[in-house]
Structure 1
Amino acid sequence: METQTLTKRMYRSSMSGHYARVLYELNVPKTDIEKTKETFAEVPQLREVFINPTISAKTKMSVIDQVFPESMKNFLKVVCKNQRVDLINEIFDAYDEYCDEQAHILTAVLTCVEPPSEEQLDKMKVFLCDKYQKADVKIQIVEDTSLLGGFILHVENDEYDWSLKGRLTRLEQKLTWR
């Protein structure tokens, strides 16, 4: 069952990645993409209309024509025609990731007890830009008091664990091995 779920997730991910690349190549203005994202976020019923099989394709196309920016209409119609509107949020997320990738922007997740200062963030960005040879870094900050202190930095497939909790765990592992 878990393998089947993983396979589904990977398929969905590759599908959303495909649509994201197409959206990128269409050179749709970012403001129109943002408006479309906001519309789906503010009116979740829209997504439900597009995935509802009892609503005709003609009605769905009419809704697209009435609601969305001109530059997004054909893309959304193809997504709707291919019955992939259920992936719309994943497509937008994959689009953002693809844009960052094309602009050589690295994404990192910093898990910490309390947010770092601007100076600390700047030092992390310089370190990450140098190490991963990227033009810029976006750091998402997640607060987690269970770390006790320090931080964990996730970048691509790497993890830098400088948390007190992580250090205590490593110390415990060393002590129990002897």
Structure 2
Amino acid sequence: MAASKAAIRYATAYMDLAIEMKSIEKVYADVQMLDSLCYDSREFMAFLDSPIIQKRKKNTVYDAMFQGKVEKMTLEFLKLITKNSRENLLPEITESFISQYKKHKGIVVVNLKSAVALEDKVKKAIVAKVNEHFKGDVELNESVDQSLIGGFIVSVEDKQIDASIKSQLANLKNILLN
């Protein structure tokens, strides 16, 4: 999901505050928990999206759910976005925060999609190639997509290498038809 400008601004401001308060790691853990909650709980998202539930009631629920479990700064941030009627942006804000955190920490996210599960040796070779071109620690996200027929697709930032059989067959088809 692409984050809206408002979500990016909230995430950036929250990240800057966390860095300034020297609580970035604790806040990052809170944001990861909130991100999981947003994606795993339909009820929580319905609660956030509900125009019927008053802001005061939402703040009471935040206190009941999160007091003592998250940083005070995180609880106040939830109340701030609710005050500004932006609580429905929470999934986008958490996604943007996590992305900015990884960039801040020098973590390079590599998405690897393959037709079958790859052996560790192959994964290590791909990570080594990525390390030649990108500075930072590599976080490898793997997925299997049998529609690729064979091969793999590697995505890093805005770059993609498509070494799948599906792609090669599509290219061959275009050459033969044109």
For this structure pair, what is the TM-score category when the shorter chain's length is used for normalisation?
0.7 to 0.9
CA deviation map 1:116-159 (0-9, x unaligned):
1222112211211221x321222222211111111111222222
Instruction: Name the counterpart of 2:80.
Output: 78
> In structure 2, what residue type is equivalent to 1:49?
F
SS in 2 for 1:83: coil
Structure 1 unaligned spans of 5+: 1-8
Q: CA RMSD in A?
A: 2.2
Q: How does 1:33-52 map to 2 (within 5 A)?
A: 33-41=31-39, 43-52=41-50
Instruction: Name the counterpart of 1:56.
Output: 54
Task: Determine if the alignment matches structure 1 residue 143 to structure 2 residue 128.
Answer: no
Q: For 1:59 and 1:35, how far apart are their aligned partners in 2?
A: 22
Shift of 1:39: 4.5
SS in 2 for 1:26: helix
What TM-score results when the alignment is normalised by the length of structure 1? 0.81
8 Å CA contact 1:20, 1:92 repeated in 2: yes
- Shift >4 Å, 4+ stretches: 38-43
SS in 1 for 2:89: helix
Instruction: Name the counterpart of 1:115.
Output: 117
Which structure has the higher relative contact order (CA within 8 Å, separation 6+)?
2
Shift of 1:84: 1.4
Q: What percent of counterpart residues are identical? A: 24
> In structure 2, what residue type is equivalent to 1:50?
L
Q: For 2:95 and 2:148, how far apart are their aligned partners in 1?
A: 28
Instruction: Name the counterpart of 1:26.
Output: 17
Instruction: Name the counterpart of 2:6.
Output: 15
